[in-house]
Amino acid sequence: MSAISRDDVAHLAMLARIDLSDAELDKMAGELAIILESVARVNEAATDGVPPTSHPLPLTNVTRPDAVRPSLTAEEALSGAPASEQQRFSVPRILDED
Amino acid sequence: MTSDITRASAAELADRLYRKEISAVEATQAHLDRIAAVDGSVHAFLHVDAEGALATARDIDRRRAAGEDLHILAGVPIAVKDIATTKGLPTTAGSRILEGWIPPYDATIVAKLKDVGMPILGKTNMDEFAMGSSTEHSAFGPSHNPWDLERIPGGSGGGSSAAVASYQAPLAIGTDTGGSIRQPAAVTGTVGGKPTYGGVSRYGLIALASSLDQAGPVSRSVLDAALLHSVIGGYDPMDSTSIDAPVPPVVEAARLADVKGMRIGVVKELGGEGYQAGVRARFEESVQLLVDAGAEVVEVSCPSFEYALATYYLILPAEASSNLARFDSMRYGLRVLPDGVDDPSAEQVMAASRDAGFGDEVKRRIILGTYALSSGYYDAYYGSAQKVRTLIQRDFAAAFDKADVLVSPTTPTTAFKIGEKVHDPLAMYLNDIATIPANLAGIPGMSLPSGLADEDGLPVGIQILAPATKDERLYRVGAALEAVLIQRWGGPLLAKAPELLTTANGREARS
């Protein structure tokens, strides 16, 4: 379970949208294998019947009134954009070419 | 005169400002001068905002002269870890992917500092996206420990701790996800506090692990930390995990500084084998001093702590992989086009940008987190880790039945040399072994100096932990211990640190 292959890392890199180089893939597979071995220890703890905790202090349905309030202007929101056009973020094509 | 001001605690500075013995402009300029003199060798700051800081200072001086009632910390300068958004000031989170990014809004805690009128000197260095224990993973070069410039100042908040330890700022903001305030405090001989999760707003903090992150004070004294904690703490409707309750009475507790009748729990699993001899010696002495001051010591055992490191290094990467998905070059941050691809797709640009913009440690943790959350592995890794988190909370609850606070050494070792552990991720992770449990459970913790280790003369920290929402107990016990230790040392521990060479001396400011 804790062995992780170069192909595994390549697949995960695709899921995480990081274009790892061949050298990075090689190095990372080895490093992750060691780390995974050590974190797999969580399975040695006695957790039968123990509920999971995702949050240190339980809170339920924190909401606010559905009322308009000040926010960023379009200019502020676009201020960090690598590219923008007509008050929109300009991005590379998101659809495949035909 | 300048060195007088920068050696003062925040509380002393506040007092001198109140009495109009010094102006906020003098106080701010003194620290800016100190930064110019020593930061070439310490590298605590990624960005210094002299103009902004002095403008705030001038405004405070004008208002004070007009007789306005000001907050006790008005005019006291502060440094802010580069993980908090500051409107108009670059914010990088120590990463190339945000190099040059200027946020269009302030984090809530930054807004609070501005409301009080604290001149913000600049943004401090940190491990990239707060992933690290040495500040060596900063994309902009490490910070250096003022006690020995060849050593790490801790991480991820090494810039903040180094700035405060070298008198470049009397106070700083840090964030702590697995020890990133407390561990740097321990290795630099300063004070660092992590409030109860939800006690300080996370709005505007660049998120690492949303269920673990917490901003807190970095200072040279427990009272100073309390004063800062009371400024930044409190309910924030912009943070849906924020606790809707008043800030605990931390300043009163720091001034009370009395442990008579308190039960101090020593955690069996935190300390002992794997902890440096000098770290253990100073810890045991401090525990004895607490007994001498009227506290009762009880031994407690938290067996699930054995799995805390593994749990943390599953939960954190999983949450981080999700949080860092936003850095996709579409709306802000670095955009890099893939080599040799005509008309690349958005996904290809994202992948090229993230590969170019993220450092090795960040990539490792994102991949690890993606793995832990992926189908087929979710239950075995992330699912199990969440259950162990419950066990850790239960162990703390049982311990706090027997004790009012728990204590342990903050770190297993003193500051190691830059370069020593950076190529061994697991060795690096072990630095957080004592600090991680508090983040997993959401309870507050603090580190304060307990002395120097005999074998290397480097600072050692003692960690205090309290039940969730009982942050005031940290300050009560911490201040009591600090007072006794300062008396023994004849002054603060930092006074024993070597003087940094300054460029003003006309000598190259390097050790």
Q: What is the C-alpha separation between A9 and B243, in angstroms, rounded?
A: 39
Q: Which of B131, B387, B423, B439 best probes binding to A when mutated, by most A CB atoms within 10 angstroms?
A: B387
Averaged pLDDT, A47-60: 86
C-alpha distance from B418 to closest chain A C-alpha (Å): 20
Question: Nearest-CA neighbor of B35 among B49, B25, B21?
Answer: B49
Give the per-residue pLDDT at B2.
56
> Which residue of A28, A42, A92 is in closest CB contact with B346?
A92
> Which residue of B383, B386, B426 is in closest CB contact with A35?
B426
Give the per-residue pLDDT at B3.
66
Give the per-residue pLDDT at B506.
42
Q: What is the C-alpha separation between B355 and B42, in angstroms, rounded?
A: 29
> Which residue of B243, B332, B351 is in closest CB contact with A19?
B351
pTM here is 0.96
Give the per-residue pLDDT at A9.
95
Bigger pLDDT: B255 or A42?
B255
Question: Nearest-CA neighbor of B57 among B29, B15, B16, B89?
Answer: B29
Q: What is the C-alpha separation between B138 and B158, in angstroms, rounded?
A: 10
> Which residue of A16, A64, A77 is in closest CB contact with B370?
A16
Give the per-residue pLDDT at A2.
53
Asked whether the predicted pLDDT for residue A98 surpasses 80, the reply is: no
Task: Say which amino acid occupies B190.
Answer: T
The full set of domains in chain B, from first to last, is: 2-305+389-496 (3.90.1300.10)
Q: Which residues of B are catalytic?
A: 81, 156, 180
Q: How confident is the model at residue A54 (pLDDT cuts 50, 70, 90)?
A: confident
Residues of chain B with pLDDT under 50: 506-511
Question: Nearest-CA neighbor of B9 among B505, B490, B491, B440?
Answer: B491
Question: Nearest-CA neighbor of B186 among B410, B471, B31?
Answer: B410
Strands B171-175 and B78-81: parallel
User: Which ipTM value was assigned to this complex?
Assistant: 0.94
Asked whether the predicted pLDDT for residue A1 surpasses 70, the reply is: no
Pick left, alpha or beta for residue B358 (phi over 0 → left; psi -120 to 50 → alpha; otherwise beta): beta
Per-residue tokens: B380: 């075995």
Contact (CB, 8 A) for B16 and B8: yes
Mean pLDDT rounded to a whole number for chain A: 90
Asked whether the predicted pLDDT for residue A90 surpasses 60, the reply is: yes
Residue by residue, DSSP assigns B256-306 as H---TT-EEEEETTSSSTTS-HHHHHHHHHHHHHHHHTT-EEEEE--GGGG
Cβ neighbours of B390 in A, within 8 Å = 47, 50-53
Q: Is the dihedral of CA B396, B227, B184, B314 positive or negative?
A: positive
Give the per-residue pLDDT at B511.
39
C-alpha distance from A18 to closest chain B C-alpha (Å): 4
Question: Nearest-CA neighbor of A10 among B321, B330, B351?
Answer: B351
pLDDT in tens, B34-79: 999 999 999 999 999 999 999 999 999 999 999 999 999 999 999 9
Sorted by sequence, the CB contacts under 8 Å of residue B303 that are 6+ apart come out as: B269, B395
Give the start-to-end residue ranges of the domains of chain A: 6-44
Contact (CB, 8 A) for B130 and B15: no
Closest residue in B to A14 (Cα) is: B351
Beta strands in B137-200 (DSSP E): 171-175, 191-194
| H/E element, B368 | helix B360-373
Based on its alpha-carbon atoms, the radius of gyration of chain B, rounded to whole angstroms, reads 22
Q: What is the C-alpha separation between B345 and B349, in angstroms, rounded?
A: 6
Taking one residue from A and the other from B, the number of pairs with CB-CB distance under 8 angstroms is 185
Per-residue tokens: B292: 């001498």
User: Is the CB of B364 less than 8 angstroms away from the CB of A28?
Assistant: yes
- Give the C-alpha distances (Å, rounded to integers) separating B408 from B174, B212, B258, B287, B413: 21, 20, 19, 9, 13
Closest residue in B to A88 (Cα) is: B331
C-alpha distance from B397 to closest chain A C-alpha (Å): 12
Give the per-residue pLDDT at B379.
87
Give the per-residue pLDDT at B266.
98
